[in-house]
């Protein structure tokens, strides 16, 4: 099933050789925007097909389902001549190719960029690696590993405990988003020149860029940031606090909000105290400020404070679990859940966060069974059509 012609990427075919998370996340975003994404799998299938539990109502692994909607699946055994030939035909018919094998793997199967671009110069070829194609080419690109060596774990967690990974494979997701940006930019250039190019993204570079203020601080001061729990290195009060019945977050971003907070708490003199009157002073005297605020906050419930701060225009909220977060987004009218129906099957999905007023994202296909769309009726014999 092809996308509607008014979809942003209608007419763009993507040969998706990637698996697990970063690459499939990128190709799913392209598919949501209307691209025709063909997922090329080994006979064993994408690794995440076996990453269960949990499973959805149909028994499909929720991990695989989270990044593989709107795609068709075929199986190509690259080690068999007929499988390699079919994969090559598909690659040469594509506008975009995405792969996240170790550097050199695609070249061994005559699927490298130089060889394909010689026959299909309009091809946009995106390679996703862990540590680039130079001295780090041999290193395995696992999200946890990159969180460790890339510095994210060093700034995550309680300062008195061990370094902690993020609760999701955040580096893979960020890298997938970078891949989409690079692919879209390359397609834009191709629109004007007719020539594609190679797009390269890697996990480590994506993480360093995503560390933003933390990596900038280390680069420009020579001092690496440390773990601060839920506190912020440059803003206060901007962390979790303890109400009578549990934790919640206050995210004060400026002096005016701080003045409103102290007034609400009956602590107005604190906002003009020289130790706390400016943000830099509040950061410097964070522990003293925290003790003062916690003493008052502990007298009421989370719900009381969140409601009162909402009225006062003070950013605050409860620490939701994931289910509560989905429900909260629904309450706000954000439409966080989409249900896809396809050939008698349904799949509940978290909606694509990109909202386009004229050409919205589309949800057409449930995450495919392995090899579900095998067949040559849609695959050209050779070349780009």
Residues 201 and 289 in one domain: no
Residue 385 lies in a domain: no
Residue 76 lies in a domain: yes
Q: Which residues are within 8 A (CB) of 371 and not within 5 positions of it... i.e. 6 or more apart?
A: 41, 73, 74, 75
Residue 114 appears among annotated catalytic residues: no
**pLDDT higher than 90, residue 295:** yes
- Measuring CA to CA, how many Å separate 295 from each of 69, 292, 298, 370, 381? 49, 5, 6, 57, 73
CA dihedral 315→318→324→325, nearest 10 degrees, is: 30
The model's pTM: 0.91
**pLDDT higher than 90, residue 60:** no
How does the average pLDDT of the chain come out, rounded?
94
**pLDDT higher than 80, residue 162:** yes
Residue 379 lies in a domain: no
Query: Which residues on neighbouring strands pair with residue 14, listed in sequence order?
Result: 37, 96
Residues 123 and 161 in one domain: yes
- The predicted-structure confidence for 213-238, as pLDDT tens digits, reads as follows 999 999 999 999 999 999 999 999 99
The CA distance from 380 to 385, in Å, is: 7
Confidence class for position 183, pLDDT limits 50, 70, 90: very high
Residues 186 and 245 in one domain: no
**pLDDT higher than 50, residue 34:** yes
Residues 106 and 195 in one domain: yes
The CA distance from 176 to 173, in Å, is: 5
Residues 205 and 298 in one domain: no
- The predicted-structure confidence for 369-382, as pLDDT tens digits, reads as follows 999 999 755 555 44
**pLDDT higher than 70, residue 341:** yes
| Mean pLDDT confidence for 184-199 | 98
Which is catalytic among the residues 172, 245, 307, 321?
A: 172
Residue 218 lies in a domain: no
Which domain range does residue 91 map to?
13-211+336-350
Number of domains, the chain: 2
Residues 28 and 144 in one domain: yes
Q: Which residues are within 8 A (CB) of 303 and not within 5 positions of it... i.e. 6 or more apart?
A: 318
- The predicted-structure confidence for 101-156, as pLDDT tens digits, reads as follows 999 999 999 999 999 999 999 999 999 999 999 999 999 999 999 999 999 999 99
Residue 384 lies in a domain: no
- The predicted-structure confidence for 345-372, as pLDDT tens digits, reads as follows 899 999 999 999 999 999 999 999 999 9
Residues 106 and 245 in one domain: no
**pLDDT higher than 70, residue 2:** no
Residue 31 lies in a domain: yes
| Mean pLDDT confidence for 315-344 | 95
Confidence class for position 98, pLDDT limits 50, 70, 90: very high
**pLDDT higher than 70, residue 384:** no
Q: Is 342 helix (H, G, I), strand (E, B) or coil?
A: strand
Q: Domain holding 260: CATH number?
A: 3.30.1540.10
Residues 184 and 50 in one domain: yes
């Amino acid at each position: 099933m092809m996308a509607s012609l008014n979809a942003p990427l209608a007419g763009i075919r993507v040969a998706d050789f990637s698996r697990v998370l970063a690459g499939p996340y990128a190709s799913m975003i392209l598919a949501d925007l209307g691209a025709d994404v063909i997922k090329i799998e080994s006979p064993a299938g994408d690794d995440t097909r076996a990453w269960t539990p949990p499973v959805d109502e149909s028994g499909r692994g929720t991990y695989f389902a989270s990044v593989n909607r709107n795609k068709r699946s075929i199986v190509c055994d690259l080690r068999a001549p007929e499988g390699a030939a079919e994969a090559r035909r598909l690659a040469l018919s594509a506008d975009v190719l995405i792969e996240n094998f170790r550097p050199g793997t695609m070249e061994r199967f005559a699927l490298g960029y130089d060889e394909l671009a010689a026959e299909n110069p309009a091809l946009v070829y995106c390679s996703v690696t862990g540590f680039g194609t130079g001295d780090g080419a041999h290193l395995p690109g696992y999200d946890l590993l990159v969180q460790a060596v890339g510095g994210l774990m060093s700034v995550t967690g309680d300062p008195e405990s061990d370094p902690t990974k993020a609760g999701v494979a955040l580096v893979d997701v960020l890298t997938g988003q970078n891949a989409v940006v690079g692919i879209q930019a390359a397609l834009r250039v191709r629109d004007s020149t007719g020539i594609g190019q190679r797009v390269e993204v890697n996990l480590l570079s994506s993480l360093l860029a995503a560390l933003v203020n933390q990596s900038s601080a280390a680069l420009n001061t020579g001092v690496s940031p440390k773990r601060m729990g839920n506190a912020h290195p440059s803003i206060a009060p901007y962390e979790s606090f303890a109400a009578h019945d549990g934790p919640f977050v206050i995210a004060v971003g400026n002096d005016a909000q701080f003045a409103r907070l102290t007034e609400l708490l009956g602590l107005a003199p604190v906002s003009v105290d020289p130790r706390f009157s400016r943000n830099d002073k509040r950061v410097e005297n964070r522990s003293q400020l925290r003790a003062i605020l916690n003493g008052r906050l502990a007298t009421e419930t989370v719900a009381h404070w969140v409601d009162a701060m909402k009225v006062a225009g003070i950013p605050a909220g409860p620490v939701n679990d994931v289910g509560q977060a989905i429900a909260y987004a629904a309450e706000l009218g954000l439409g966080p859940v989409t249900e896809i129906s396809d050939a008698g099957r349904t799949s509940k999905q978290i909606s694509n966060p990109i909202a386009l007023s004229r050409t919205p994202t589309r949800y057409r296909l449930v995450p495919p069974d392995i090899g579900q769309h095998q067949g040559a009726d849609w695959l050209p014999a050779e070349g780009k059509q």
